[in-house]
Amino acid sequence: GQQLNQSPQSMFIQEGEDVSMNCTSSSIFNTWLWYKQEPGEGPVLLIALYKAGELTSNGRLTAQFGITRKDSFLNISASIPSDVGIYFCAGQSKPGASGSRLTFGEGTQLTVNP
């Protein structure tokens, strides 16, 4: 089946630093989504990307849909302690496929030291 390679697996940063993480695939995706999950809670959708080359921001978060359609990037600027959590990328590769299933990356665990 399809796989998304998400990196890094974990990050330990100081408050105020910028963060970058990415997802790559050997297959083309038509939609990229980025989620954040805090301990004991369900993932929350942060950003959705639908066009190759698209760059979308949500506050201090910026995500890009790679031009090759095989990758996506998430950047967090000026990190704060509440940015702690696991960030997941997800992709959809088959428009109209039954159930609109997503493929998820394994997540990036972000720790922010005050």
Partner 1 sequence: SQTIHQWPATLVQPVGSPLSLECTVEGTSNPNLYWYRQAAGRGLQLLFYSVGIGQISSEVPQNLSASRPQDRQFILSSKKLLLSDSGFYLCASGKQSYSYEQYFGPGTRLTVT
> Contact between 58 and partner 1 (CB under 8 A)?
no
> Contact between 12 and partner 1 (CB under 8 A)?
no
> Contact between 99 and partner 1 (CB under 8 A)?
yes
Taking the least distance from each CB to partner 1, the nearer of 44 and 78 is 44
3-state DSSP: the chain helix, strand, coil percent, rounded to 5? 5, 50, 45
Q: Are 77 and 18 contacting, i.e. CB atoms less than 8 angstroms apart?
A: yes
Q: With 0-12 CB in 10 A as exposed, 13-18 as middle and 19+ as buried, what is 82?
A: exposed
> Pattern 23-42, binding to partner 1, x per CB under 8 A?
--------x-x-x-x-xxxx
Measured in whole angstroms, the distance separating CA 14 from the mean position of its chain's CA atoms is 20
Residues at the contact surface with partner 1, assessed by CB under 8 A: 31, 33, 35, 37, 39-45, 48, 86, 88, 90, 92, 95-96, 98-102, 104, 106-107, 109
